[in-house]
Structure 1
């Protein structure tokens, strides 16, 4: 079942959305203000977050920014009465993935939610696995609080692995993420994987970069295999 978090202070609208989504087989948890929404979002387990832009205690844009800064890559659909370009740009800058302008058809809401639920957000500003963190804003990588230095290719490789984590990413998808259509000889990925593993795993007791024989690579702790 698809799990959605709705953060909306208009209780009549919230009740209508929750009831309609349940009819459509979508479980919807409701928070009535921004701070309640932040706490519920941190508890996790949602495939999509549905945020009103005008919320008491913590507005939707600020809530979105906090979630993205913490590394939450759950897709966010923003509900708003503002349909101006500047307002939409501000939302995308804050980290939202899509907009739905009030009033909207509930059927369209369901279609948007199902589409967003099939992917993770590309708006997240921090990627992590265990004690390894990649800050996309500051362009830094740390593990256990220590700075990890990477080449530009190593950076792109690690970003692709962390975006997929803990799932396996194939060799072909990794090569395309790093080199697009200009893929070099077959040994290049092997060399860069070796260098990346040396940078992020060799100094530590718990390796994170896993080779999944016959499938590709995954960034995850061994205990989760």
Structure 2
């Protein structure tokens, strides 16, 4: 899991590194709000750990700017303020969860895992549908226009990711990280799996749902949702 920590306390940041990296997290740290905003815009994080009290900007304002920029990365706010009004204000500005200082690192880990699963849709077993393409996560059954489609495991995982994010364009490196973790595949491996996926869900049919956005990534989108 790839996370960004925006926190001005170097001791706390060091503790977060010591706790999270052995658990498989990849951590970037920013010690002020402006650096954190730059990191968040330049990278694709699974979650952001954001301190409410930063030297150059309130954490709530940071969260508002992230949401105004269209970033929906889950945000876990760290704060010493534990009143209901403080929490309501934070949620109104786009915070997804709160953790009151001091906190146990194990609780931080559990809350991050829950936020990321929720964002990815992993908590839901409802069928996914884009146009006439349907995927049932419970049975791993894929159909398009009533025709059953068979897919190998990796293209199936890519399909599920793109359908959950539809109509969003998912960057190549985000797909690679979600499928292969921190071990990045060879440069043409993702392209090969995309070709297998496209051959299965698009080529036998009249309209293509899987689109390549050159220089960025891929999306699955219904024909009537495409905006040129």
> Normalization by structure 2: what TM-score?
0.56
Shift of 1:164: 3.2
Q: 1:164 to 1:14 in 2, by over 3 A?
A: same
1:186-201 equivalent positions in 2, closer than 5 A: none
The CA deviation string for residues 141-182 of structure 1, in whole angstroms up to 9 with x for no partner, is xxxxxxxxxxxxxxxxxxxx99633489xxxxxxxxxxxxxx
User: Structure 1 unaligned runs (5+)?
Assistant: 122-160, 169-211
Equivalents in 1 of 2:65, 2:169: separation in Å?
Answer: 25
SS of the residue corresponding to residue 119 of structure 1 reads helix
1:54 aligned to 2:56? no
Paired position in structure 1 for 2:167: 165
How many pairs were matched up?
143
Query: How far apart are 1:120 and its partner, in Å?
Result: 2.8
Structure 2 counterpart of 1:75: 74
Residues 166/219 of structure 1: CA separation in 2 closer, same or farther (3 Å cut): farther
1:22-49 Cα offsets, whole Å, 9 max, x none, are 1111111110011111111111221000
Q: Give structure 2 stretches of 5+ with no counterpart.
A: 121-162, 171-200, 220-228
* TM-score, structure 1 as length reference: 0.56
Q: Say whether the 8 Å CA contact 1:162–1:219 is kept in structure 2.
A: no
Question: Contact 1:165–1:219 (CA<8 Å) still a contact in 2?
Answer: no
Shift of 1:119: 3.3
Alpha-carbon distance between aligned partners in 1 of 2:68 and 2:210, rounded to the nearest angstrom: 21
Query: Quick check: 2:3–2:28 contact (8 Å CA) kept in 1?
Result: yes
C-alpha root-mean-square deviation of aligned residues, in Å? Answer: 3.0
